[in-house]
Amino acid sequence: MGELHHKIDLGQARSLINTHIRRISPDLQTNINKALHDHPETCYKEFFAHDTLTTFLSKKGLSVTPKTYGLETSFEASTGQGGRQVVFCAEYDALPDIGHACGHNLIATSSIAAFLAAGHVLHTLNIPGRIRLLGTPAEEGGLGKQFLIDAGAFDPPEDIAAAIMAHPASQKMIPSHSGVEYSGIAGPKTSASHKFKVEFRGRTAHAAAEPWNGINSLDAAVSAYNSAAMLRQQIRPDERIHAVIEVGGTVQNVITSYSRMSWNVRSPSLKRADELLERVRRCIEGGAAATGCTVTYLPTLTSADLRVNEALCRAYVEDMGTLGRKVVETHGEPSGGSTDMGNVSHYVPSFHGMFSVTKEPDVVIHNPGFTACAATDEAHAEAMRCAKGMAMLAVRVLVDDVLADKAREDFKRCE
């Protein structure tokens, strides 16, 4: 344990957190967890979630600001004064058609629980420090956290000691070592991801009467797709290229003049993702050149890879151990998934843990089976355990100068 700039009994703080979360857990399960799960909303349309969460926090007597940073479905609440600042990030958007198959209802629930419990410790023990809960919409495909970064939600960055959140997972996503089953990962690794759309424009013509007068944009899209499919043979095992044709014509006897594709290029680091993106662009432009079409790139959404902060991860593992949970400190291989929390981790010291909520062998996130798992009592219980660890992590960052300094050093070392 490092030097405390404010002397407290960590055992007492831990006891206060555990007791407070046990007390508020039923309320959170009914009015946050279940409510969000029963009303799934996609990115930037989380109006029910926004109103539910802001109303819940306001009733707790907290200072809440709705519709923050130019987003109708973002909000923030704060407590404490002086000292360092910790930001809890709450996600609450769902996936189209399959609802909360990524368990963001559990993320919102655990972040709120941790925020309330850590705030309870600050007030009870009269600890200087500021804790903010930031509602972060549109993680699923909308890159909401990058919008919030650009809008100043994490400014000034040197004022934030840590940004904290955790994500539910299935047990099969959690590594085991020497036969030991772990309940979570403190420092998972994710891939950097470029998401973008491409428009091909050609010229329409009757496909039977005068096909020679047409320029087929669908051919350009198919050529680009096939070229990228062949490129997959020469990319690294931890890289991914995804593509779909969203628009490719409507009538078979009319040469298609407009086609649109959606792409996703992933790699473990931004540098490698940029390099792979350039190779994919050549496939796209080759399709356009071969058919005589023009090509337009629509704005790119880039999720950065998660920067694992070893100091924060180590402290979280220690505190989860007091709850009887074995947590892997870091996981060496990227999961293949991406998150806009990666963008935050490139801006301020960040923690993005993972906690297992199901041992079903055939269930992973973004699967309808995970939607059902995200609503179980077992999943809520694990979210509450994780919240206890996150709340204690926040308190330790606020009171422990050495931990805060090491977290900042780890962050700068990754730059």
149-170 pLDDT tens trace: 999 999 999 999 999 999 999 9
Break the chain into its structural domains and give their ranges.
Answer: 10-190+306-414, 192-303
Q: Is the pTM of this model over 0.95?
A: no
Between the alpha carbon of residue 233 and those of residues 240, 267, 311, the distances in Å are 11, 15, 38
Average pLDDT for 53-68: 96
DSSP code, position 183: S
Q: Report percent pLDDT > 90 for the chain.
A: 88
What does the pLDDT read at residue 264? 94
pLDDT range class, residue 334, cuts 50, 70, 90: low
Q: Is the pLDDT of residue 176 over 90?
A: no
Neighbours of 353 (CB within 10 A): 26
Q: What is the pLDDT of residue 415?
A: 64
| Alpha carbon distances (Å) from 232 to 56, 73, 213, 303 | 48, 38, 34, 21
Res 5 pLDDT > 70: no
**Would the pLDDT of 174 be above 50?**
yes
pLDDT over 70 at 304, yes or no: yes
CATH architecture of 10-190+306-414: 3-Layer(aba) Sandwich (3.40)
Q: What is the pLDDT of residue 181?
A: 86
Residue 56 has pLDDT above 80, yes or no: yes
Distance between first and last Cα of the chain: 26
Contact assessment for residue 308 and residue 350, using Cβ atoms and an 8 Å cutoff: no
Structure tokens at 80: 């404490």
Contact 172, 314 (CB under 8 A): no
Q: What's the one-letter identity of residue 380?
A: H
- How many other CB atoms are found less than 10 A from the CB of residue 375? 19
Say if residue 352's pLDDT is above 50. Answer: yes
How far apart CA 249 and CA 122 sit, in angstroms, is 60
Count other C-beta atoms under 10 Å from residue 23's C-beta.
12
Helices 310-321 and 401-413 pack at an angle, to 10 degrees, of: 130
Q: What is the pLDDT of residue 125?
A: 95
**322: helix, strand or coil:** coil
So what's the pLDDT on residue 1?
A: 44
Q: Is 401 exposed, middle or buried (0-12, 13-18, 19+ CB in 10 A)?
A: middle
Alpha carbon dihedral 28, 32, 34, 36, in 10-degree steps, equals -160
**Distance (Å, whole) CA 259 – CA 217:** 6
Q: Pick from 161, 162, 166, 170: which is nearest to 186 by CA?
A: 166
| pLDDT > 60? residue 4 | no
**Residue 180: pLDDT over 90:** no
Give the CATH number of domain 192-303. 3.30.70.360
What is the mean predicted confidence (pLDDT) over 67-76?
97
Q: What percent of the chain has pLDDT over 70?
A: 97
Contact 118, 319 (CB under 8 A): no
The pLDDT of residue 141: 83
Instruction: Output the six-digit token pair for 199.
Output: 């428009």
pLDDT, tens digit, 9 for 90 and up, residues 369-397 = 999 999 999 999 999 999 999 999 999 99
Q: Span 179-184, mean pLDDT?
A: 87
Task: Give Cα separations from 396 to 17, 131, 187, 393 (angstroms).
Answer: 12, 12, 18, 5
Q: How confident is the model at residue 9 (pLDDT cuts 50, 70, 90)?
A: confident
Strands (E), 114-183: 129-135, 160-170
Q: What are 70's two structure tokens? A: 């130019």
Position 6 confidence tier, pLDDT thresholds 50, 70, 90: low
What confidence tier does 335 reach under pLDDT thresholds 50, 70, 90? low
**Mean pLDDT score, 277-294:** 98
